[in-house]
Chain A
Amino acid sequence: MAHSEQEILAGLAEIVSEETGLPTDSVLPEKSFTDDLDIDSLSMMTIVTLAEEKFSVRIPDDEVKNLATVGDAVAFINGAQA
């Protein structure tokens, strides 16, 4: 079943919060994973792995570098849903 963009943002915020300890309400669409949320490449791959499972999507490695912000990730996941 497809998730709404709002559900994807909330779910992604939970994953990021678990990984970083940041509060979920700080994980906003305009936030940069690297500059604002201080997420390194290994943490980013962890987030991708968990997001793939949570939303039943595939996020190819080549796409990950294009996901600069939380909003980028939400949009990609939304578009990748079957």
Chain B
Amino acid sequence: MSTAPDVVITGLGATTPLGGDVASTWRAALAGESGARTLDNDWATTYEIPVSFAAQLKVAPAEVLPRPEIKRMDPSAQYAIIATREAWADAGSPEVDPERLGAVVSSGIGGIWTTLDAWDTLREKGARRVLPMTVPMLMPNSPAAYVELELGARAGAHALVSACASGAEAIGYAVEMIRTGRADVVVAGGTEAAIHPMPLAAFAASRTLSTRNDDPAGASRPYDVQRDGFVLGEGAGIVVLESAEHAAARGARVYARLAGVGLSSDGYHMTSPEPSGRGQTSAMRQALQGAGVSPSDVVHVNAHATSTVVGDLIEARSVRDVLGAAADQVALSATKSMTGHLLGGAGALETIFTVLALVDRSAPPTINVTEPDPDLVVDLVRDTPRPLPSGQVAAINNSFGFGGHNVALVVTSV
């Protein structure tokens, strides 16, 4: 296995349904807590939405950000900025040449609250009441732009959109920015703030959401025979990626290497993963090859595993195809059982979980699996964390999204 990957992770930041920062989120994840709760509003009854719960942020942005920032950012950008400030401080607020500093922050849905609020305003009060900041707030690159402005980054600011794979794709693109010499440091990740009645109704219309209204905490149950869809979540995950040389030169604390990136598309269907899982298999293989990692080096997989009937098993079969017999020794975790599905934020938050699993040598649990699907062909970490082996090891974070986007990231220990 390669010991000289060129991109390392030096900072982590998050705000999630489990906690307002990385430490509290990780603590809750290891404790097997659920972030899903009944919504404190009347959307379900007012609009006859068949889902009355979601995994909302544990700490509201208004508790963290000054009011002018709340007013000029869509919630998706607010979450990204909260996570960015934590990640940047966690990395030691490095001195970086602005020309060598980049920002890649994605959202799967974009500024949906701003869009729909402005539409309401237009219809109810007319065009003169629509606020001038509406477009900068609703545009899908708004979180990336705010992060760019926050840090004064000049190497490039990007917002790649690939639905539920967006956060992972952002990190993958950031790795390429460093590898191709465009930047020394890139702040990257994903964010989502789509717990609004319209997307809730729309996801429910596509029959992809769990309707377990009487048991929100038990609703996200990847690989369980009773799974009935995902739980809509929200939040952001941001990492600071850095060339290994840059990190070493400043004596930075290094969490792990972001050693491999794999990308593919299914070319099959808008919402259903291709049944054989060939697209995901291809992405994971590319990521392992790029990292110079063999299947026997892999000890942990953080799966996309949204708790949908079809998607979970296709992914598990792909993991089995990629790792072969080595899959028997791999601790696979489905952390959406606790966080819900952060859509564009998911791949980034789960990269953070993957990194911390290697740092702490502890794979987080999958909760709510009372009866595993008999077709499950991987070794699922259930209920309590599982220790991971010592030594040089690797882990995979797998993501896929509507549109047939597949992104796999390989993280290796330092």
Q: Which A positions have Cβ atoms within 8 angstroms of B?
A: 18-21, 42, 45-46, 49-50, 52-53, 58
Contacts and interface: CB of A to CB of B under 8 A. Distances in A.
7 contacts: A18-B67, A19-B71, A21-B68, A42-B136, A46-B133, A50-B131, A52-B129
Contacts of B125: 53
Contacts, number: 28
Interface of B: 66-68, 71-72, 125, 128-133, 136
A18 B68 CA distance: 6
A59 B169 CA distance: 45
Contacts of A49: 128-132
B302 to A, nearest CB: 39
Contact of B68 (A19, A45, A50): A19
Secondary structure call for the A interface:
helix
B129 to A, nearest CB: 6
A49 B127 CA distance: 10
B131 to A, nearest CB: 6
Nearest to B71: A18
A38 to B, nearest CB: 12
Contacts of A18: 67-68, 71
Contact of B132 (A20, A42, A52, A58): A42
Contacts of A46: 131-133
A62 to B, nearest CB: 14
A50 B68 CA distance: 14
B129 A53 contact: yes
Contacts of B71: 18-19
A2 to B, nearest CB: 20
Contacts of A42: 132-133, 136
B68 A52 contact: no
Contacts of A45: 132
For A20, A49, A52, A58, the residue with the greatest tally of chain B CB atoms inside 10 Å of its CB is A49
B100 to A, nearest CB: 28
